[in-house]
Amino acid sequence: MHLYVTSGLSAEVVAAVDVNTTANEVYKHNFPDVYLWPKTIEGITANEFNSLDFDMILMSPPCQPFTRIGLQGDISDKRTQSFLHILDVLPRLNKLPKYILLENVKGFESSCARNALVETLKRCSYRYQEFLLSPTCLGIPNSRLRYFLIAKAEPEVFIFKTTDQIIEGFVNHQQYLKVNSKCPSKEGEPPTVSDDKSSEPGRQSHEGKSFLFKMETTEHLARKQSQDSDVLLRYAMLMDIVTPVCRRSGCFTKGYGHYVEGTGSVLQSSPDVEMAAVFKSLDSLSDEEKVRRLLKLRLRYFTPREIANLHGFPAHFCFPQKTTLKQRYRLLGNSLNVRLVGRLIQLMVE
């Protein structure tokens, strides 16, 4: 299989490795011809790695040990074992891969795991550069700040001047360049916050009475409709509300669709209603009047397809029919921006 359309490069994926059953089902559904290893990385020996004869490693180790709201267990967290195994195996490979790309959450840059990675790269004679990037730097209206590292085996060199500092933006050949988040990317005009024109199975009409629309069963919808007033009153001031023409949206997490606060933006489906007018003097109204006014916004969740669009997934990407809505949101919340990674791959191999 050949990938990296967004990077302008062609490459064959010789193996994909993941232990998550649902993620593997989705991957196999979209890439049926790729060799997929449904096992832990720490269970792969150096000889098995050597048999793949690969030139590039793209990896996204578990982020839980490094999240700012987590326990920050770092390398003492058992979930880092797969990453540490890669660092242990890398120097012992018969042929070092030419390129390495790693993605993780902001916070990884100050971890012991990061220090171990850098030491291993230096020991194996790699040149590397670290980044903190969000899709907004490509003009994509979604905030998703992540740590990235790209590495290149010597004697190869990058086409830009590397630095020990973490770069917060993309670079051109002569200087570090902060890309204006309001500018479109080179691939063309980025998607608006909501550009999904297709209908998804079970997606509710905007004419319904429920204020958050998802791919729900009839039972789920009936139960949620009875809770809408309480939800609106409780979370109205905490929601990150955006419109279809907004140039930004919040970071979508794996809890999206289940939790309201801090898991991603919700979409205002009534473009003719001014949000400021709805919230003006809201506290002075009775609960019934508050609900009546808030319902004018016709708020709904983003669909999984719309989130995939913001992540840069191609139009042909799809989920197996049996993948539940919760599973789709969880997988997308743990995903990354394809166009951002494509740009980094391009920068890495040029």
Q: In a 3-state reduction of DSSP, which class is residue 340? A: helix
Query: Residue 133: beta bridge partners?
Result: 146
The 3-state DSSP composition of the chain as helix, strand, coil percent (nearest 5) reads 35, 15, 50
**Rounded distance between C-alpha atoms, residue 241 and residue 237, angstroms:** 10
- Long-range (24+ apart) CB contacts under 8 A made by 158-163 are 158/127, 158/129, 158/347, 158/348, 158/350, 159/347, 159/350, 160/129, 160/347, 162/127, 162/128, 162/129, 163/129
DSSP 241-276: EE-TT-S--PPP-TTBTTB-TTS--EEE--TTS-HH
Position 315, amino acid: A
> Cα-Cα-Cα-Cα dihedral of 222, 227, 231, 234, to 10°?
180
Dist. CA 298–CA 211, nearest whole Å: 6
Give the pairing of strands 56-59 and 99-105: parallel
**Helices (H) and strands (E) in the chain — how many of each?**
11, 11
Residues with catalytic annotation? 63
| Residue 343 to residue 141: CA distance in whole angstroms | 17
Residue 185, both tokens: 């990317």
